[in-house]
Amino acid sequence: MSVEVNWQTTRPTVRERTKFLLNNKLFSDVKFVVRKSDGESESKEVISAHKFVLSIGSPVFEAMFYGELAETRDSIELPDCEYESLLELFRHMYSDEVNLSGSNVMGVLYLAKKYMVPLLIDKCTEYLQNNLDPSNVFSILPTAEKYEEKNLVDRCWKVIDKQTETAVKSDGFATIERSLLEALVARDTLSIKEVDLFQAVDNWATKQCEKQGLTVNGELKRRILDEKIIKAIRFPLMKQEEFAAVVLQKKIFTLEEVTSFFQFFSLKSSPPLGFSDTRRSGVSYDICRCSRFKSVDESRWHYTNGLKDVIIFAVDIDIMLHGLCLFGRLNNHYTVTIEVKDIGNNLTRLVSKSGTFSSELLQHNSGNYYGFEVFFDSAINVKKNVEYRIEALVAGPPSSRGYGGFASVLSSGVTFRFSQTSQMQETNGTNQTIGQFPQFLFSV
């Protein structure tokens, strides 16, 4: 081996001189034998190293070379890693540098954990977070959970929640463990139609059958999925046509179950036992608006300190309530706290939203008005024929008001019924016919 003459003099820093020794036979006192594959064939390669350098960067290597049971061989075979990954581990230990890529980062993270190199662990997880997308999230999440990298795990679930439909169509989804699939379908925050989620789960079960060399059929797929996963898919949220066209042909349900589902779809009865009809909060909706006033009055609506505007409402079918509109005036700001409470459940608070809002021009069923929209952080399930109480504590300059309020409004196929609290003297004056809450923001 030819060595550069006076190589030390051209590398003025310790880091540069140590980096020069990476995979260099000069002064090397240990060799690592690892496998190297090029996709078609596999061979064994040797990486030259230096016990002292490795030991000052890793307590595991220190114990290996200088502990009570110190390794005496000068050639060590490592069957649990690839050449590229081990070389990058050493590159970091010799120079604080690392060349990460999609093909080596998992292997490098494994070695960084194994040999207790915390800075390299951080670099690997940062790389994974920066390169995380729906196409690779199901490949990265199991590793992040295995190594208990909480921040990376959380980031993976955020990607899955926001881009569920794309993520479950990725190659990595077909190979996830059953426990991960179970955790996925149970999440309330997914953004995917239930029929599309079912198709992805069915494809996963089909792959499992093929992997085990079994004949694919509905009964076998249901047994592989288990009742916990089947019951976590919210079949009652599907349209009847979707259920008939997609679910029935997979033959995972018994005749009795199919009958109960069609009774539910046709008669709007309670969902079949064990199946949820609660919408996932991540699903996007077409927002509908229910306007409860005939007209808008520019007369000043004052806000008395500590008194809330209150209205009671009920609907004739289940909806998702996303928020409300309130009146304001041109170029003004209002500080608001809105709460929605379930009257039939001892005024249990379902949602609370606070903030400062600026008035803008909004569209009313009979014209325009100045006001602002208040969207809840998560939409709430509003059940049919249940009374709910909305309270708004508003602080700010006088605003417009609605008048000629309707007791009942039909909007996008939903009938809203409005009434007022019996303790009117304890509120700011909103009632069925005048006051606040010009529009309800909802989806069916």
The pLDDT of residue 284 is 65
Structural domain boundaries in the chain: 7-130, 157-267, 288-443
Give Dmax (Cα) for the chain: 96
Nearest to 235 by CA among 217, 214, 253: 253
The pLDDT of residue 426 is 84
The pLDDT of residue 86 is 98
DSSP secondary structure of 197-265: HHHHHHHHHHHHHHHTTPPP-HHHHHHHHHHHHHHHS-GGGS-HHHIIIIIGGGT-S-HHHHHHHHHHH
Whether the Cβ atoms of residue 138 and residue 170 lie closer than 8 Å to each other:
yes
Which residue in the block uniquely carries the two structure tokens 């020794």?
A: 21
Per DSSP, 427 falls in state B
Q: Which residues contact 415 (CB under 8 A, 6 or more apart)?
A: 315, 316, 408, 409
Pairing mode of beta strands 30-37, 75-82: parallel
The pLDDT of residue 325 is 95
2.60.120.820, 3.40.50.720, 3.40.1190.20, 2.60.40.10: CATH of 288-443: 2.60.120.820
pLDDT means per 10 residues in the chain (444 residues)? 86 96 96 90 95 98 95 93 97 98 95 98 95 94 95 94 93 96 95 95 96 94 96 94 95 95 87 88 79 88 90 94 93 93 92 90 81 88 94 94 94 94 85 95 90
Residue 7 belongs to what H/E stretch?
none
Question: Sheet of 309-315: strands edge to edge?
Answer: 348-358, 333-342, 388-395, 309-315, 414-419, 408-411
Mark 412-436 as b/e (b = at least 16 C-beta within 10 Å): eebebbbebbeeeeebbbbbbbbbb
Which residue in the block uniquely carries the two structure tokens 């997308």?
A: 133
The CATH architecture of the domain made up of 157-267 is Alpha Horseshoe (1.25)
Whether the Cβ atoms of residue 92 and residue 116 lie closer than 8 Å to each other:
no
Q: Which residues contact 224 (CB under 8 A, 6 or more apart)?
A: 178, 205, 208, 209
Whether the Cβ atoms of residue 337 and residue 428 lie closer than 8 Å to each other:
no
CB atoms within 10 A of CB 193: 18
Nearest to 438 by CA among 401, 391, 413, 393: 401
The pLDDT of residue 285 is 66
The pLDDT of residue 14 is 96
Task: Please state, in angstroms and rounded to a whole number, the distance separating the CA atoms of residues 244 and 259.
Answer: 12
Task: Please state, in angstroms and rounded to a whole number, the distance separating the CA atoms of residues 391 and 351.
Answer: 11
- Check whether domain 7-130 has CATH 3.30.710.10, yes or no: yes
Note the pLDDT tens digit of each residue in 199-222. Answer: 999 999 999 999 999 999 999 999
N-to-C CA span, the chain: 76
The pLDDT of residue 107 is 96
The pLDDT of residue 424 is 74
Q: What is the CA radius of gyration of the chain?
A: 32
The pLDDT of residue 421 is 84
Common-topology check for domains 7-130 and 288-443 = no
